[in-house]
Amino acid sequence: MKRLFILLFLFPVFLASLQAGENKGLVCADLMKVFQSYKGTQAADAYLKAKAKDLQESIDKLKGEISSLDKLLKSGILSREEKEKKSKEMEAKKKELENRIKSSNLVMMQERRKKVEEVLKEIEQKVAEYARKKGYRIILDKKDILFVEEGLDITDDLIKFINQEYEKKGKS
């Protein structure tokens, strides 16, 4: 439905630009490829991996504490009172582990969503800048197009541009 709407809406614009002799007004790009190739996406991925690693280390530490308590409980060297105390401690740590896992998953989902939104906003701004610079009036996502001439696909040039802009921003 969305594609049909896009085609029905943009087809008259496309025809008008062809009739005017302008072939530079309408181009397309593979926005998924642009997203995946963007250095800002790669930086966001690295940030998320580091964040996940930190959270996982905290979970692993707690698992180690639970494992140690379990070994101690199974060793047979504890008195009944000590065993009860350690059993309660282990149950508390298991609940803490469960809560930490849930919390970590929630944090990672929120962080991932935030980073994706940031990267998409950056890409959108850079695509608009690129379009103005090159004189394009419309850049369509290639996935929404049934056919496009090879010369109208600007994906590689767009990736090069946004990565150069990203590097300039990093050096500023």
Tens digit of pLDDT per residue, the chain (172 long)?
555 555 455 555 554 454 444 556 899 999 999 999 999 999 999 999 999 999 999 999 999 999 999 999 898 898 999 999 999 999 999 999 999 999 999 999 999 999 999 999 999 999 999 999 999 999 999 999 888 888 899 999 999 999 999 998 876 5
Please report, for residues 27, 67, 78, 149, the alpha-carbon distance to residue 82 in angstroms, rounded to integers and kept in the order given.
74, 17, 6, 77
SS percent in the chain: helix, strand, coil, step 5 = 80, 5, 15
Residue 110 belongs to some domain of the structure? yes
Residue 74 belongs to some domain of the structure? no
Give the H or E element holding residue 139.
strand 138-141
Residue 70 belongs to some domain of the structure? no
Name 59's Cβ contacts closer than 8 Å, sequence gap at least 6: 97, 100, 101, 104
Residue 94 belongs to some domain of the structure? no
Task: Give the CA-trace dihedral at 1, 146, 19, 131, to 10 degrees.
Answer: 90
- Kindly report the CATH number assigned to the domain that includes residue 6: 3.30.910.20
Total domains, the chain: 1
Residue 60 belongs to some domain of the structure? no
Residue 58 belongs to some domain of the structure? no
Residue 139 tokens, joined: 């850049």
- Look up the domain containing 15 and give its range: 2-49+100-171
Residue 86 belongs to some domain of the structure? no
Residue 22 belongs to some domain of the structure? yes
At residue 61, the 3 state secondary structure works out as: helix
Cα 171 to chain centroid distance, Å, stands at: 23
